[in-house]
Amino acid sequence: MTESDVQQSSPRVRFPGISPRAYEHPADKGAMATLRSVPGVADVLKTLNALFNERAERLMAVASHVRVGPSQYPVIDRIRNEAAEILDLQQVPKLYVARDPRVIAQTRGIDEPFIVVSSGLVELFDTEALRFVIGHEMGHVLSGHAVLLTLLDRLLKLQRSVAWVPLGVIGLRAVIAALYEWQRKAELSCDRAGLLVGQDPQASLRAHMYLAGATDLSQIDIPAFLEQAKEYEEVEDIRDSIIKLLAVEQQTHPFAVVRASQLQRWAASEEYRAILTGDYKRRDAEDDGNPLNEDIQGAAKSYKDAWNNSSDPLVKVFSDVGGALSGVADKVFSGFRRRPSDGEQSNEGNNGGTGGDKS
């Protein structure tokens, strides 16, 4: 990459004071809002953080990776600063390039979040696709995801250390599974942040194609690639549905074709266009209304819509069973609501009432 690689014909839109709630996926917002509202969660995080040395983690990054700056990877450093400016981050996170042939980018740290991208990613991605990735990671910082991502890492280490205690493993697995589900939704949120930083849907699509295995984009057909997402989402055999369920159980990220499809739909939405014109939630208005209820309701609607629109046979089975159970439950509780109390029964008897049968 050269300095000329980061030139753009028109300046990118900045988003002063943007709230992460402006771009977060509904399911991600619901999970984060619930977590923030639970008393004592901050204390638990601090306690777990005390078991590990975050200062040592940052020191190891300094010792073993290349820290991006004006004289080291200057083009990436410029993208880093521009991304932070676009999302109006109060502090620009440090960014490191780690020697790793795999395509990896991650944000870690609780007190001072920092970003690490692999050398394999830097070598493979073109400049604008790399901008999307760095914007994605900046989204993790703005949304406060680094806390939970670090927590998940540490729980995985803790799980290995207590693997000989069956009950401990079961409890940790439940927490870890919940965090995995949250993280998959958080990645969809931060894909949106990456798009807001780059403001180039084609670059974000290239990034997902690189993640899926593309090396020479001249040999990749975009409609065919997006068709893969449709094929994955519209399986007709319940055996495939079970395979999908098992495959994603311990995945930290949605599959690349799914991410590409979801983000391209958002790029074509009114919500995205409104943000570009300056119509978005701002951090200084976070106390307005009841964001917790809004976010939880939005999460519920997101899951409901996804289930209703899915052609996956297993999802249909769960949906039908859930609907049936909901109907039964409603009838049972309606019966309890209609049943008069003993006092009401005696009053009805004394007054000649025509209420329900009496024993």
pLDDT in tens, the chain (359 residues): 544 455 555 689 999 999 998 999 887 776 666 555 555 555 555 666 666 566 777 888 889 999 999 999 999 999 999 999 999 999 999 999 999 999 999 998 877 889 999 999 999 999 999 999 999 999 999 988 877 777 777 766 666 655 554 544 555 566 666 677 777 888 999 999 999 999 999 999 999 999 999 998 999 999 999 888 877 777 555 455 555 555 566 676 788 988 999 999 999 999 999 999 999 999 988 655 555 455 545 444 544 454 455 454 444 444 443 344 344 444 443 443 444 545 544 444 444 443 444 44
172 vs 168: CA distance, rounded Å: 6
323 within a domain of the structure (yes/no):
yes
**Residue whose C-alpha is closest to residue 196's, from 99, 83, 117, 330:** 83
DSSP state of 12: P
Whether 310 and 318 have beta carbons less than 8 Å apart is answered as: no
* Domain, as residue range, for 124: 14-334
88 vs 15: CA distance, rounded Å: 6
**Residue whose C-alpha is closest to residue 35's, from 347, 305, 319, 299:** 299
DSSP-derived pairing of the beta strands 95-98 and 105-108: unpaired
| Residue 354 CA neighbour count, 13 Å, CB half | 0
Phi-psi domain of 355 (left: phi exceeds 0; alpha: psi -120 through 50; beta: other): beta
343 within a domain of the structure (yes/no):
no
Interacting residues of 54 by C-beta distance below 8 A, sequence separation 6+: 109, 110, 111, 112, 150
342 within a domain of the structure (yes/no):
no
Whether 102 and 117 have beta carbons less than 8 Å apart is answered as: no
The pLDDT of residue 149: 73
The pLDDT of residue 68: 97
356 within a domain of the structure (yes/no):
no
DSSP-derived pairing of the beta strands 105-108 and 114-118: antiparallel
Alpha carbon of 178 to those of 29, 69, 152, 191: distances in Å?
14, 37, 10, 20
Q: Which two tokens stand for residue 352?
A: 């000649």
**Residue whose C-alpha is closest to residue 210's, from 2, 202, 107, 196:** 202
353 within a domain of the structure (yes/no):
no
50 within a domain of the structure (yes/no):
yes
6 vs 98: CA distance, rounded Å: 22
Residue 113: what are its φ and ψ, rounded to 5°? -60, 140
Whether 242 and 313 have beta carbons less than 8 Å apart is answered as: no
User: How many domains does one find in the chain?
Assistant: 1
The pLDDT of residue 53: 63
> Which helix (H) or strand (E) segment is 49 a member of?
helix 41-50
